[in-house]
Amino acid sequence: MSDQPSLFDEPESGSSSAGELNPAVVAEVNDLHTQLNQANYQYYVLDDPQLPDAQYDRLFHRLKELETQYPQLLTPDSPTQRVGAAPLSHFDQVTHEVAMLSLDNAFNEQDMRDFNRRILDRLKQTDAITYACEPKLDGIAVSLLYENGVLVRAATRGDGAVGENITQNIRTVPSIPLKLLGNDFPPVLEVRGEVYMPKKGFEAFNEKARANDEKLFVNPRNAAAGSLRQLDPKITASRPLEFCCYSLGRVDGADLPNTHSAILNLFSRWGFKINPEMKVVNGIEGCLEYYDNLAQKRNDLAYEIDGIVFKVDDINFQQQLGFVSRAPRWAIAHKFPAQEEMTLLKDVEFQVGRTGAITPVARLEPVFVGGVTVSNATLHNMDEIQRLDVCIGDTVIIRRAGDVIPQIVSVVQEKRPQDAKSIVFPKSCPVCESHVERIEGEAVSRCSGGLVCAAQRKEAIKHFASRKAMDIDGLGDKLVEQLVDEGLIESFLDLYSLKLADVANLERMAEKSAQNLLEAIEVSKQTTLAKFLYALGIREVGVATAQNLVNHFLDLRALVKADLEALLEVDDVGPIVAKHILSFFAEPHNQKIIDGLLNIGITWPAIEKKDSSELPLVGQTYVVTGTLASMGRDQAKEYLQRLGAKVAGSVSAKTSGLVAGEKAGSKLTKAQDLNITILDEDAFLALLSEHGIEHAG
Q: Which residues are catalytic?
A: 136
Intra-chain end-to-end CA distance of the chain, in Å: 88
Give the C-alpha separation, 274 to 271, whole Å: 9
CA distance to 44, 197, 210, 297, 410, per residue, from 203 (Å)? 19, 10, 10, 20, 16
Give the C-alpha separation, 79 to 141, whole Å: 24
Residue 397 · residue 408 · CB < 8 Å? yes
Residue 500 · residue 518 · CB < 8 Å? yes
- 621-625 and 646-648: which strand pairing? parallel
Contacts of 453 (CB under 8 A, 6+ apart): 352, 356, 429, 431, 432, 434, 447, 460
Give the C-alpha separation, 87 to 71, whole Å: 22
Give the C-alpha separation, 448 to 440, whole Å: 15
Contacts of 556 (CB under 8 A, 6+ apart): 529, 532, 533
Contacts of 152 (CB under 8 A, 6+ apart): 145, 146, 167
Give the C-alpha separation, 29 to 25, whole Å: 6
CA distance to 245, 319, 355, 543, per residue, from 293 (Å)? 22, 30, 38, 48
Give the C-alpha separation, 393 to 691, whole Å: 68
Give the C-alpha separation, 459 to 535, whole Å: 11
Residue 525 · residue 601 · CB < 8 Å? yes
The candidate with the shortest Cα–Cα distance to 493, out of 608, 599, 395, is 599
Phi, psi of 522 (to 5 degrees): -65, -40
